[in-house]
Structure formats: C-alpha cells, structure tokens
C-alpha cells in the first residue's frame, strides 16, 4: 500500500474502496452487473405498478330512505352486448324476457368496461367501483393483492351463487359473517364438461331450492326480510361456451336463451316470495365481452361493450324518444331506436347499486352515480350525488395527506386545480344549492368536484414517478458509460506512453461522492421513504464514482475524438443511433427488421467491398434480401403448409450434395468416415422429412401419431446434438455439419414457411464470415490463413489482444441485429407465449406443458445457435476477444433497455402489460444469454469426439 501515511479511519476506508475498485475484475463486474440489472428491473414495480388504493376514509351514505330493500345482481360472464340485444335471422330476440324489460319495465344501455377485460377486474369494477390496479401484476394474479371495500361488504346480508373463483374474492374481503356463498366444486373437472350450460342451471336450481327452504327456516326467513340485502347470481356458462365454441356459435346463443329463461323464472320466484312488494331492484350485466374468435382481455369493442339492463324499485321506466345521437349504428341494428339508451362506465354500477338499497358507497369506488337511471325525487338525486362527491373527495384528501406526511414541506407541490379553499367552496355551494332546491345546479357542481378529485388522485398516485425515473436513468447512464470506459481502457492504446505515472484520482472525488451519498440517504430518511428507494437513489453514486475516477481515460478519449473530423464523428453517431432505433422498433413492428436487412444489403456499396470482392458482395446482397422477406410474413403457425417444409428439406439436401462434391474434389484424402458422417446426416434430414409428412397426413386422417414416427423423431433430436461433434473441426465442414443436424430437428418442429428460415439465415451467416474476412484484409491486416483452412480450436480467445476498431463495433451490432432477427424473424413475443401445438406433433400428442415448452424453446433457440456458431467463426478469423464483444453488446443492449424502461405500460390488457415488461427483460438479459449461447457455440464448434477411442492420424 502506498498510502500507509494516511492513518485516519476515513483514509483507510478510501484506500480500501480504491483498492477494491481497482482490482475489480471481470467476475466482480459480472456480479455487479447482475445486481445493477436486478435493481433496474425491480424499479419498474415501484415506478409503474403500485396500488392506487388508500385506506382510512369514513363511509358516506345518503341520509334519505332508499327506494329498494333488496337488490338482485345477475352477471352473465363473457356476454357481448350485441349478441344479447340483436335480433336473430327471423327477427326474434334471443332474450325475449330482457327485451320485454327494455320495452316495458326498466332502463338500458351499454356498459363500457376497461382493459384488461378479464373476469376479476370486471367484477371488481362492478361490485367495488374501481378499476383494478395493475399492481396485481407485481403481486400475483389470483390472490387479493390489496384489501378493498365492496357493495357486498357494505350490505347487511349477501347471498351469492356461482363460480368459486369470483365469489370467494368478495367473500374474503368482507368483514363479519354476512356473506354467504354457494359454489360448485372447481376441482371436479368433468363438471359440465359435456354441457357447460349446467354451470348456469346449477345456479338457478340452487336459488330455487334456497327460497323454497327459506319458507320453513325461521331465522333465514327473517334475514331475508331485512333491508339492504343483495342476491348475486354469477352465470359462467356463456363465457365457457364462448371460449369453447366462439360467440357466433349455436351453443353461445342457446346459452343466452337459457339464461334469459332462467332469469324470468328467478324474478317470478322472488316477486312471489316477497308478495310483489315492489321493493326489489334488479340489475343484469356482464363483466366483459368476447372477441369473434372466443377470447377476452384486450380492448376490442367486442370485449369492452357489455349489456346493462336494470329495472324494479327506484329505476326509471322505459323512456320513448324520437331520436338519439350515438356514434355507432347499434340502435338501428338492434331496432331499439325509440327506447332511450343510457351508456355508463362499468364502475358507475357500484354507486348506483349502493344508492338503490341505501348502503354506503364502497370506500375505494371511483364510479360516478348515473342519476339519469334513478326514478326518484330531485332531492334524492342531488343528495346522492353530493354523497358521491364527498366520498371521492375523501379519497383525494387521504391520498394528499399521506403524500404530504412523507414529503419535506418545502418540496411538496400540491395539486393546483383543487386546493383546500376550493374544495370547501364547492362543497358549501353545493349544500346551499340543495337548500335552495336548485337540484340540477347541485348535481353539476358535484360532478365537477368529482372530476377534479379524480384528476388529483392520479396526480398524487404518480407523484414519485418522475423522481424515481430520474434516479434509475442516472444509474443506467452511469452503468453504460462505465462499461464503455472499460472497453476503451482495455482495448484502445490511448494512454499508452502518454503518462507512465498513473495519476491517482484525487481524494476530493471520493469525499464528495461519500458526502453526496450521505446527503441522499439523509434526505430519504427525512421523507420516510421505503427501503427500495434507497437502492434506486444511492446506486448511481458508486457507479458514477467509478466512472469519474477514470477521468484520465475520458480526457484522452475526448482528445482522440477531437482529432477526428466532426462530420465523420456526427455521421457515425447518427448511424449508430439509427441502428439502435431500428432494433427497438423491431420489437413492435417486425417489418423494421426488413428495413434493417435492406440497409445491410446496401452496405457493400458504401465500403470498398463491392470493388474488391464482387461475388461475395452479390451473395451477401442476395441472402440479405431473401432474409428480409421473412419478417413480412405472418407469425408462425397461422398458415400451416407442409409442402414448404418439404421444400426446405429438399433444399438442404441439394445444398449438402453440392458441398459434398466440392469437398470430395478438393480433398483427395477425403476420408471414408467423414463421407459416412455426411451421408448419415443427409439421411437424417430425409428421415425427418418423411416423418413430418407421414405424421401430418396421419393426423389429418385422425389416426393419431404413429409410434414409429415418434421414436424416429426423438432419435433424430438426440443424434442432432452429437453428430456435429464427430465432424472435423475445419471451419466450413463443422459449420455445415451443425446446420445439417439442426435443420433435421427444425424440420420436425416446423409447420410452414418457417422451415426455410434457418436455412436462409445460415446461408447469410456463411457469407458473413467471408465478408468479415474481406473487411479485415481491406484494413491491411495480414491474414495468415484462408477461411477454408481455418480450424476451430479450443484456445481461440486468449491468444491475442488486439486493438479495437470501429469495424468491431459494427460486428457487435451485426451480431445483436442477427440475434434479434433470429428471434423475431418468424414470430413475435405473443406467438412465443401461445404454444402452437401443431409444431410438436411429431414428438408427442398428449398435452404435456413442460415437454412442449422445452421443445418449443429448442425450436426458438436453433436460429440463435446457428448465428452464434457463425459468429464464433467470425471471432476466430477476426481475432476479436469475447470480453470486448460482450462489453459492446452490453452497451448496445443497455441503451435499448433504457428505451424499454420508458415504454413499460401500466395500463391496457394483461398481454400489453406483460409484453412491455418482457421486452425490458429480454434486452437486459441479452448479455447473459449471449454468454451462455457463446459457451454452447464454443462447445459445438471446437469439441471433437472420436469414435471407439482410436486417434485419427489426419487430425493434427
């Protein structure tokens, strides 16, 4: 140690810190990198996915007698609005009972749901009045991520019948034992397997039994005659039929008829039980719709438009109107033009139900009471609306107080549109309007207050977002610069000879970094921040310390840059930025890959490659253009075409014949065993073609998968990993052998055009190797060997540490681009998630998620392996060290990750949200995946197995 004279403890600490940082080797760097990326990943859950719910509000209810004593809620799961309202081919309604209600008894409209259009968020919006937050993404999908209040919890008693998934959700959140659920057993799998309408008839039967039994059960009878009670009938049949047969099917439509008839019966039983006392309110709706192809979750109108029909106590009778203005043409289609349609948002149903039976509005509800549905005095409407406004204002106040408490007073920026004075003002004014019987004015003033309070709620909900995002971005930039500096430091001989006495960074830097760290920690401590905030805010400090202490390197690099003509510099920078943006965009639009490949095709013209090597350039252009066609085709599995798979197999055979003849011609000593190996591999390609063909034709005839085919498939898969290791290690022969083996497996896993993809990709890769050899010669670097004579060897990497050139950056970029192409060339993330069963039919036909997942994974990996093996060859011929390559890929992928950090979505369907998160994860883990892929490629290309253990003399 050279700093022994500093005896103070801080001195020791600093020395230790410096030493530690100086001896930071690749392993530490790797671990550190992992940690940093975990933090970056975790940060999105604190920034984007936090629960908006607050607790601690007081319940609010209207101080007037409610119109209804009890409420019946029918939810037909997965029912589309149009299928219910429209008339069938003969002009008859599928739901005559509901249509009769619309025309003679109640009010109707469309309920607009929000994405994700799933059962759980739909029911939460209906019954609890808020749109479920995406923090559910972070905290698991099934359990209640947060405690919430609901209509069912506020009711005196609730009886519910239906699916266990939905009912238990609200029973769990309710306090006390006033919620009774009756569910069928979720585990008994064949329940309703043949006829899912049983799910609905079960509910109707149980309700019938229930009311029958109630007549002889004194305690139940008295409970049923209480006020503020709810009956909730959850009907799952329509959703299940829709998934199984699609909404246009006979089954789906017949199920609607069944539900309609069942409801008619239920209503008459109830009215009979209560002696037609006119104190029952009815609501019929659904949690979400369904697409034409039988799915839901996203934001298509067929999924977000659900029916809403209500009648009974407190509800307006049908209103005849002469003309109604709506953007859509539904009214005409459904022949309902003359009955007033009133659309609502799904969460508005909760306050409506609460005001009908006179219970407090659910505490977290953000619904706005649809007063136009109410058949009541103007005073009641105004008072209810006032209650609604106060209830939402309460949430706003609690949220603001919470934020204010944890923020330093001088840093707190309140929501400007709704200061305390304004709140008081509006509330006072609304009260006085009600006193003066100016009810309409009161209602509109309350609506204004609600809108402001809702805006304020979202303002405070995203209050920390900006601050946290800045810290994460600082960390990202610091980390990327650090990786960049490492590349410069170890590979450019910038500083060589400039100054031998390495300047130790001044203690000023370390001291100020520690001071900043302490200051930040103290600042966070004062604000009572969660522990994760400390990590996000403190992490940039050591990272930037590590960057700034390399001040000398930065200075040298800048001096070097200044010697470059500015136009060059700006040009290169622009090309780099453009390249990165194309990569980022290709995650969303596959055709961007086509654009990139077209640019690649034009690349030889810019360099001198065209003049030097015409034939190589031409084949580069040809294969780039050919590969560019793939991202334009539909994703895998949409159009199965077995003949394209056969075509791919034939092309492989043709190619291997050409290679074989050229090899025999070139080498007099072409050894029998190698010839045998080649022939064996060609045979396996032929076999896999036969197996694929016969399997698909036998499945088409519904004869199942022949056992022989299955055995051969697995054998080919097993051999494909071993056979390349038997081939000679000379560059082309080994690569070709790998291609043949992987292609035979890929053909087995293909159903259409994608079988051609690895073939075209590897052709381009072969040309790439040649091209890189050419560019190297262009630079005047002597090339010791011709490509054809290069052999893969185990110790390729450590040999020479040569300087890095700009070309190496391009090579790294090409690699990343080809890897992205290998991934998105034939599909997108969504198509990866959805298993296309047809592609594993040659291996198994029984449903086994794990095995199928593994096979699909291998299918996705094959193009990657081909690219990596080719790159192994490029690395070998250009003598680029793996370390610097990984660092360059790290820089590229982190710049991309920063893009995706801002593109994380906290709204939309689960699929949208999940996809945005997986984009972020994919680019961040790119480097790690690359390390493993590189290892695999290294093994595949350099390892040589010998049969029978006898050494071969020719292999030296």
Binding site for Zn ion (CB under 5 A): 77-78, 119, 239, 287
Half-sphere exposure of 495 (CA within 13 A, CB side): 18
β-partners of residue 16 are: none
Q: Is the dihedral of CA 782, 788, 789, 791 positive or negative?
A: positive
Q: How far is the CB of 166 from Zn ion (least distance, A)?
A: 8
Q: How far is the CB of 320 from Zn ion (least distance, A)?
A: 34
Q: How far is the CB of 295 from Zn ion (least distance, A)?
A: 8
Burial class (CB in 10 A: 0-12, 13-18, 19+), 540: buried
What is the Cα–Cα distance from 510 to 635, expressed in whole angstroms?
A: 53
**Eight-state DSSP code of residue 72:** E
Give me the phi and psi of 230, to 5 degrees please.
Answer: -130, 135
Q: How far is the CB of 213 from Zn ion (least distance, A)?
A: 29
Q: How far is the CB of 241 from Zn ion (least distance, A)?
A: 10
What is the Cα–Cα distance from 947 to 727, expressed in whole angstroms?
A: 11
Q: How far is the CB of 288 from Zn ion (least distance, A)?
A: 5
What is the Cα–Cα distance from 888 to 881, expressed in whole angstroms?
A: 11
* Beta carbon nearer to Zn ion, 119 or 881: 119
What is the Cα–Cα distance from 623 to 634, expressed in whole angstroms?
A: 20
* Beta carbon nearer to Zn ion, 186 or 676: 186
What is the Cα–Cα distance from 392 to 54, expressed in whole angstroms?
A: 11
> Are the C-beta atoms of 449 and 430 separated by less than 8 Å?
yes
Q: Are strands 107-112 and 344-345 parallel, antiparallel or unpaired?
A: parallel
Please choose, from the candidates 869, 940, 870, the residue with its C-alpha nearest in 3D space to the C-alpha of residue 725. Answer: 940
β-partners of residue 76 are: 235
* Beta carbon nearer to Zn ion, 165 or 673: 165
For 901, residues 6+ apart whose C-beta sits below 8 A from its C-beta are 40, 44, 469, 472, 473, 476, 920
Q: How far is the CB of 286 from Zn ion (least distance, A)?
A: 8
Q: How far is the CB of 119 from Zn ion (least distance, A)?
A: 3
* Beta carbon nearer to Zn ion, 77 or 383: 77
* Beta carbon nearer to Zn ion, 247 or 596: 247
What is the Cα–Cα distance from 906 to 711, expressed in whole angstroms?
A: 47
- Burial letters 561-571, b for 16+ CB under 10 A, else e: eeeeeeeeeee
Please choose, from the candidates 785, 757, 793, the residue with its C-alpha nearest in 3D space to the C-alpha of residue 769. Answer: 785
* Beta carbon nearer to Zn ion, 76 or 616: 76
Give the CA diameter of the chain.
109
Residue 699: enclosing H or E segment and its boundaries?
helix 672-700
What is the Cα–Cα distance from 567 to 879, expressed in whole angstroms?
A: 30
* Beta carbon nearer to Zn ion, 77 or 797: 77
Q: How far is the CB of 240 from Zn ion (least distance, A)?
A: 7
Tally the residues of the chain.
Answer: 956
For 396, residues 6+ apart whose C-beta sits below 8 A from its C-beta are 418, 453, 454, 456, 457, 460
- The residue number whose beta carbon is nearest to Zn ion equals 119
* Beta carbon nearer to Zn ion, 123 or 341: 123
Q: Assign residue 276 a region: left if phi > 0, alpha if psi is -120 to 50, beta otherwise?
A: left
* Beta carbon nearer to Zn ion, 287 or 774: 287
């Amino acid at each position: 140690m050279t700093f022994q004279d500093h005896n103070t403890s801080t001195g020791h600490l600093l020395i230790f810190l410096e030493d530690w940082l100086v001896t930071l080797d690749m392993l530490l760097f790797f671990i550190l990198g992992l940690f940093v990326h975990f933090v970056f990943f975790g940060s999105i859950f604190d920034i984007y996915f936090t629960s908006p719910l607050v607790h601690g509000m007081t319940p609010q209810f209207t101080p007037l007698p409610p119109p209804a004593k009890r409420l019946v809620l029918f939810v037909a799961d997965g029912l589309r609005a149009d299928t219910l309202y429209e008339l069938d081919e003969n002009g008859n309604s599928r739901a005559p009972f509901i249509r009769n209600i619309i025309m003679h008894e109640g009010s109707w409209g469309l309920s607009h749901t929000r994405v994700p259009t799933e059962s759980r968020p739909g029911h939460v919006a209906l019954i609890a009045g808020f749109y479920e937050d995406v923090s559910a993404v972070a905290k698991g999908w099934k359990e209640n991520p947060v405690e919430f209040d609901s209509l069912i919890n506020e009711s005196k008693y609730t009886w519910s019948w239906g699916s266990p998934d939905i009912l238990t959700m609200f029973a769990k959140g309710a306090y006390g034992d006033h919620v009774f659920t009756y569910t069928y057993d979720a585990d008994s799998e064949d329940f309703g397997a043949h006829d899912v309408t049983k799910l609905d008839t079960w509910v109707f039967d149980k309700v019938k039994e229930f009311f029958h039994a109630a007549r002889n059960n004194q305690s139940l009878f008295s409970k049923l005659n209480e006020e503020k009670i709810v009956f909730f009938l959850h009907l799952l049949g329509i959703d299940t039929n829709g998934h199984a047969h699609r909404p246009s099917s006979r089954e789906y439509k017949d199920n609607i008829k069944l539900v309609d008839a069942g409801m008619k019966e239920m209503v008459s039983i109830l009215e009979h039980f209560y002696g037609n006392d006119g104190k029952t309110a009815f609501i019929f709706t659904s949690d979400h719709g369904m697409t034409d192809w039988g799915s839901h979750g996203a934001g298509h109108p067929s999924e977000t438009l659900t029916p809403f029909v209500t009648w009974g106590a407190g509800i307006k009778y049908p209103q005849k109107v002469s003309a109604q203005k709506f953007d859509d043409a539904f009214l005409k289609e459904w022949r309902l033009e003359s009955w007033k349609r009133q659309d609502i948002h799904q969460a508005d149903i909760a306050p409506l139900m609460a005001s009908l039976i006179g219970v407090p509005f659910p505490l977290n509800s953000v619904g706005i009471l649809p007063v136009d549905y109410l058949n009541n005095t103007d005073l009641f409407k105004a008072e209810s609306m006032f209650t609604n406004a106060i209830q939402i204002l309460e949430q706003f106040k609690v949220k603001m107080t919470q934020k204010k408490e944890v923020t330093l007073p001088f840093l707190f920026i309140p929501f400007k549109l709704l200061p305390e004075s304004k709140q008081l003002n509006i509330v006072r004014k609304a009260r006085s309007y009600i006193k003066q019987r100016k009810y309409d004015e009161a209602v509109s003033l309350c609506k204004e207050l609600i809108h402001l309070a809702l805006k304020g709620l979202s303002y405070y909900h995203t209050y920390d977002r900006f601050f946290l995002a800045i810290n994460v971005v600082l960390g990202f930039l610091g980390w990327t610069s650090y990786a960049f500096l490492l590349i410069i430091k170890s590979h450019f001989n910038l500083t060589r000879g400039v100054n031998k006495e390495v300047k130790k960074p001044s203690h000023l830097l370390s001291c100020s970094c520690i001071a900043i760290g302490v200051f930040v920690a103290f600042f966070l401590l004062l604000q009572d921040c969660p522990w994760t905030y400390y990590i996000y805010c403190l992490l940039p400090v050591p990272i930037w310390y590590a960057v700034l202490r390399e001040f000398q390197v930065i200075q040298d690099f800048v001096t070097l840059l200044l010697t470059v003509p500015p136009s060059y510099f700006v040009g290169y920078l622009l090309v780099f930025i453009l390249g990165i943006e194309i990569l980022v965009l290709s995650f969303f639009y596959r055709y961007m890959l086509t654009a990139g490949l077209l640019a690649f095709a034009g690349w030889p013209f810019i360099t001198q490659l065209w003049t030097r090597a015409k034939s190589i350039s031409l084949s580069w252009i040809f294969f780039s253009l050919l590969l560019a066609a793939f991202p334009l085709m539909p994703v895998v599995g949409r159009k199965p075409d077995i003949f394209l798979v056969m075509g791919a197999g034939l092309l492989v055979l043709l190619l291997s014949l050409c290679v074989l003849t050229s090899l025999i011609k070139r080498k007099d000593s072409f050894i029998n065993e190698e010839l045998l190996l080649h022939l064996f591999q060609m045979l396996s390609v032929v076999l896999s073609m036969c197996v694929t063909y016969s399997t698909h034709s036998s499945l088409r005839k519904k004869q199942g998968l022949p056992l022989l085919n299955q055995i051969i498939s697995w054998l080919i898969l097993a051999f494909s990993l071993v056979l390349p290791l038997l081939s000679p290690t000379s560059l082309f022969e080994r690569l070709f052998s790998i291609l043949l083996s992987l292609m035979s497996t890929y053909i087995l896993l293909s159903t259409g055009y994608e079988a051609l993809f690895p073939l075209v990709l590897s052709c381009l890769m072969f040309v790439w190797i040649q091209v890189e050899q050419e560019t190297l010669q262009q630079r005047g670097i002597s090339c010791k060997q011709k490509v054809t004579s290069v052999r893969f060897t185990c110790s390729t990497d450590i040999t020479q540490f040569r300087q890095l050139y700009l070309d190496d950056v391009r090579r790294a970029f090409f690699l990343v681009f080809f890897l992205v192409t290998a991934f998105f060339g034939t599909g997108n993330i969504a198509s990866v998630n959805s298993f296309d069963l047809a592609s594993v039919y040659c291996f198994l036909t029984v449903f086994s998620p794990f095995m199928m997942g593994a096979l699909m994974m291998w299918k996705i990996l094959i193009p990657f392996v081909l690219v990596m093996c080719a790159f192994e060859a490029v690395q070998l011929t250009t003598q680029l060290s793996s370390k610097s390559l990984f660092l360059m890929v790290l820089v590229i992928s982190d710049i991309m990750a920063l893009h995706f950090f801002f593109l994380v979505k906290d709204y939309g369907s689960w699929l949208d949200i999940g996809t945005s998160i997986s984009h972020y994860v994919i680019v961040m883990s790119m480097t790690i995946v690359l390390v493993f892929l590189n290892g695999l490629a290294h093994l595949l290309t350099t390892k040589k197995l010998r049969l029978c253990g006898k050494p071969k003399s020719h292999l030296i």
